[in-house]
Amino acid sequence: MAQKSKQWGAIIVMIALFAMIAFVTNLCTPMATIIKNQPGGVPNVLAQIGNYGNFIAYLVMGIPAGMLISKFGYKKTALIGLVIGSVGLLIQWLSGFLDNGNNLGLVFGVYLLGAFIAGLCMAILNCVVNPMLNLLGGGGNTGNQLIQIGGVFNSSAAVACYILMGALIADVTKAGIADATPALMIALCIFVVAFIVISFTKIEEPEQAPVRVDLIQGAMSHKNFALGALAIFLYMGIEVGVPNFVQQYLVDTGIPSGTVGLLVAVYWFMMLIGRFAGAAIGNKVSSRAMVTSVSIATLCLVLFGMFFTNAGMVNFPGVDWNTLTVIWQPIPVGIFAFLLVGLCTSVMWGAIFNMAVEGLGKYTAIASGIFMTMVFGCAVMMFIQGLVADITGNYITSFWVVVFCAAYILYYALVGSRVTKREESEDCPEIK
């Protein structure tokens, strides 16, 4: 019990890091809005450079992060990740003080570098935080409970990110990267505190099995896993693409930043609610049934949002942060259908993972690393959706990319996730 009490500082810090993963990652979307509205106009494809840098980093670091854990353990790997993340945040902060009037390319290049380095940190921390919380909780139900609490704070931080950035950006036409300084400094301070606390916390770590890259081929030979990896790749296009391009659309229609920030925060609040619901029914509903249901719901919601965007207007409260007064803004009713997609995406990752690793046996560990690399699908899908928006000149049309992603996930749940008798493992019975 004494040992356990000594761990509470580290537990709180790891939960804070869980939150910061979402906070730093979601900064890329309001930053894209800032970049999109720089003088002279910036195409949507280029405006997403923050997302490109952040999520391509997962492709680079997904499997190496597992190797770092195997060699150095969770504690040292977490410390390495925090140092890398602090450097990335400082570089992003520095980019805001460069002269974007005369050398916008240099500003974008420095910001991209910072986002990429920060993304390396996010990939490392994603591989560390979940198992460390489990270890600090002593495993079992307590460990799982801490992970669920971490997930709640993760979603809450995403909500806070959009509200804070909405408050910081009074006018997107005049905003620059430097306006995000308070948000970047908050994340940096938490990283520094986390580094200090973890450094002085003794953690008894289990012996790590070596990560063998040659196991990748074995994992990918299982059809349900290979198709599941693609499902995660496309899932990222839904999770980030929906709030990202809803934000771009709302700003483009002239809705104040304070209102836009609160609106997009609703998406992540829906994810928070969905995670609570998913945890409550997770032991009663199969992964296949869950993914089938939410992918159908996603298709219905996105199509409704696309075809009935302007079917009517609903007044939504926003905040004028200059006067601290509540303002009511008419919002197209279809936008709320897009925001409800957060309920669906909240359970997709875990359920897809469960189906994908079915029957993998000894390949399960390497499968986790491969899944982490698939997060870079967000960068690819942001590029494609941004390209569609640029070509068509219509943000709503770009949501056909999201429809395609949801349709594939539905196919995976119904067909692609089935495990053949040859692949089935005695240790991993088929999900019904």
pLDDT higher for 153 or 142? 153
| pLDDT value, residue 35 | 78
430 band by pLDDT with thresholds 50, 70 and 90: very low
Question: What whole-number distance in Å separates Cα of residue 226 and Cα of residue 391?
Answer: 32
In the predicted structure, residue 112 carries a pLDDT above the cut 50: yes
Lowest mean pLDDT among 52-56, 100-104, 317-321, 347-351: 100-104
Q: What percent of the chain has pLDDT over 70?
A: 85
Global pTM reads 0.81
Question: What whole-number distance in Å separates Cα of residue 115 and Cα of residue 101?
Answer: 21
Q: What domains can be seen in the chain, in order of their start residue?
A: 1-211 (1.20.1250.20), 215-419 (1.20.1250.20)
In the predicted structure, residue 166 carries a pLDDT above the cut 70: yes
Single-letter code of the amino acid located at 77: T
Highest averaged pLDDT of the listed ranges 57-71, 212-226, 263-277: 263-277
**Backbone angle region of 326, left / alpha / beta, with phi > 0 → left and psi within -120 to 50 → alpha:** beta
- Cα–Cα distances (Å) from 377 to 215, 298, 389, 399, in that order, read 22, 18, 18, 16
Question: What whole-number distance in Å separates Cα of residue 91 and Cα of residue 54?
Answer: 13
| pLDDT value, residue 408 | 97
| pLDDT value, residue 125 | 87
120 band by pLDDT with thresholds 50, 70 and 90: very high
336 band by pLDDT with thresholds 50, 70 and 90: very high
In the predicted structure, residue 431 carries a pLDDT above the cut 70: no
Mean pLDDT of 268-295: 85
Summarised one tens digit per residue, pLDDT across range 372-426 is: 889 889 999 999 999 999 999 999 999 999 999 999 999 999 998 887 655 554 4
In the predicted structure, residue 427 carries a pLDDT above the cut 50: no
pLDDT higher for 122 or 429? 122
pLDDT higher for 353 or 293? 293
Token readout for 164 is 């804070």
| pLDDT value, residue 305 | 95
Q: What is the mean pLDDT of the chain?
A: 82
In the predicted structure, residue 3 carries a pLDDT above the cut 80: no
Beta strands in 281-363 (DSSP E): 313-320, 325-332
1 band by pLDDT with thresholds 50, 70 and 90: very low
Dihedral of the alpha carbons of 117, 119, 120, 122, in degrees to the nearest 10: 130
